[in-house]
Structure formats: structure tokens, C-alpha cells
Amino acid sequence: MARAHLRGRRTRVAAGLAGLAGALWVCVAVAAAPVYGPELEGFEYPFAVERHAFVSQGRELSMAFMDVTPRQPNGRTVVLLHGKNFCGATWEDTIRELSADGFRVIVPDQIGFCRSTKPAQYQFTFHQLAANTHALLAARGVTRATVIGHSMGGMLAARYALMYPEAVERLVMVSPLGLEDWKAEGVPYATVDQNFANERRTTAESLRAYQLRYYYNGQWRPEYDRWIGMTAGLYAGPGGERVAWNQALTTDMIFTQPVVHEFGLLRVPTVLMIGGLDRTAPGAARASPEVAARLGRYPDLGRRAAAAIPGARLIEFPDLGHSPQVEAPARFHEALRDALAH
């Protein structure tokens, strides 16, 4: 009977330890899956965030931005434009490098993204986002700048240079989207409602799987997790439905407003920085296997774009993917310095 009692105590202790371990695992899991507010409240940006308030399409909006002043100014300004699955904060290393080189660095979060307003209704166009950015720069007293855009930000940077060539000292597109016209290539259209349903299913796991396949060539590093958590935390937060709606609208913008057909009209010094392993192709998952197989071939797309843009310079990173500034910061910044110096 004493032995039975002892066995019972051992069983209860083991069960208690298992329960404690389970509780600790849940705490770790929760800690590993952050939740942020609708304007990314709770996520720490590397520099002070300011606000540009304005009225657009009859709505009062607020564009968040960082304006980093160098200790030893060289008299030049750089504007960094984020991609769709990124925020201004993702440029952290680049901001530090450029600031150390004497550049004033301005980094906005576009309307609909990250720290900025996410309106219930808004006609998202690259023209509108470019106009918003131009108004921000005017408010900050900037009349001319080098504009650097990554991913979706590359499409926006190109549109900005087409609209305001006199305000662009140099255009730099880093693994930009839009080097091909996906709908013209045969990718079926997805409605905004379909995009919204897809966006509502976004999790840290789905973001990681997508980026692992298309951005990083199957090679994941722990430092990428911070940016996954940043984006997933927006979707998981109290503003998740509004975040998903704005993302659905901007997905439609990216798909239906190609800029590639106007590359020949660019009249500013242009640099393309292309990851050779990048396979990003919005809509490829809903395309036929034959169509999907020919999409997102960035080595070919980069060379074709460089040939179409008058006087463009092409910098290739054969062993890197969609985000060379994240994958290999030292190499990327060395190449960027050279691009900005010549």
C-alpha cells in the first residue's frame, strides 16, 4: 500500500512537471509570436519616428517617417523606400551606414503600411504614394535626393523618378518588383476580395515559408526572424483585419500597375542591384506550372531592365536573393557606396 502511495505521488509529480513544462513551452511560443498594434505599436524602431499629417482623398492621414541627421553632413539626402513585406525599420543597417557616410536619411512608412495610417478606403496607386512621398520631402525642405527602393519600394522609386525627375539625384532599385508584367505573362487576376481572404490567413509560418522559397533560396538565418515577427505581429494584432485589407489593396496595385513598360522613359542616373537567386513573382502560386516556371528569373530580368533604362548600371549579387541588404549587409553597403560615388 505504501508502494502504491509512493507510485501515486511520483505520478502526480511527473504530471505536475509535465504541466509546468507545457506551460513554459506555451510562454516561449507566445513570446516568439509577438502581437503589435494597428500602427505597429510595440515594435521598436531604430531611430525616432516622426509624423507627417496631411489630407488625401478626403481623409486625414498620418505618414510615419524617420529623418536621421548625420554627425558630419555631406550635403546629400537619401530616401529609402520599403517593400510590401517590410517596413522602414528594415533599413536599419543601411540607415546607419549612410548616416556614417554623411548622408541625411529619410525613411517613410507608406500609407497603408507599418507605422502609418491604414485607411478603411483608399485608392492605392504608385502615383498616389509617390505624390505622398514628394509632399513629405517638400515639408522637410528636401528638393533633391537619391531615391533607393527595395522590392515594392523599387517600383515606387521608379514611378517617383518618372513623375519628379528634377527631384531625383540618382535612382537605385534593389531587387525591385515589377521587372516583368505578370498579367501579360499569363498570371490570372485575383480580386481584392480574394487577396483579402488570402491576407487574413497570413501567419509567421506562412510568411517564413514564402520568403524561404522566393527570397532566400531555401537558406534561413535567425536574424530574419525579427522581420517576420514584425510583419506577423501586425496581422495578429487588434488591427489585423484593417492591415489585411490594406495589404489586399496594395497587392492589387502591384499586380495591375506595372512600371516596366516605362523604363525607357527614365531620365535620371539609375542603378539596379539584383540578387541572382531571387525568384519573387507575385501571383506565381496561382499561375499554371508552365507560366510559373518562367517567372521571377531575376538574373535575366535585371539584365533586360538595365538594357531598357538609358545609361543604367547593373550590380549583381549572384549568390544572394531578394534582400541583399539583409542577407549580406557588408557586401551590399560596399556596393551601394560605390554606386552613390560614381
Spell out the CATH class of 40-341: alpha beta
The tens digit of pLDDT for each residue in 295-329 reads 999 999 999 999 999 999 999 999 999 999 999 99
**141-168 mean pLDDT:** 98
In sequence order, what DSSP letters do the residues of 156-182 get, joined into one string? HHHHHHHH-GGGEEEEEEES-S-SS-T
Query: Read out DSSP for 170-239?
Result: EEEEES-S-SS-TTTTTPPP--HHHHHHHHHT--HHHHHHHHHHHTSTT---GGGHHHHHHHHHHHHSTT
Q: Take residue 196 and report the three cell numbers written for it.
A: 483579402
User: What percent of the chain stands above pLDDT 70?
Assistant: 91
Amino acid identity at 334: E
pLDDT tens, 16-25? 433 333 333 2
At 32 the pLDDT is 54
Cα atoms in the Cβ-side hemisphere of radius 13 Å centred on 247: 26
Decide: 207 and 231 in contact? Cβ < 8 Å: yes
Mean pLDDT (whole number) for 257-272? 98
How do the domains of the chain map onto residue ranges?
Answer: 40-341
pLDDT in tens, 189-248: 999 999 999 999 999 999 999 999 889 989 999 999 999 999 999 999 999 999 999 999
Task: Select the more confidently predicted residue: 30 or 193.
Answer: 193
Q: State the pLDDT at residue 217.
A: 85
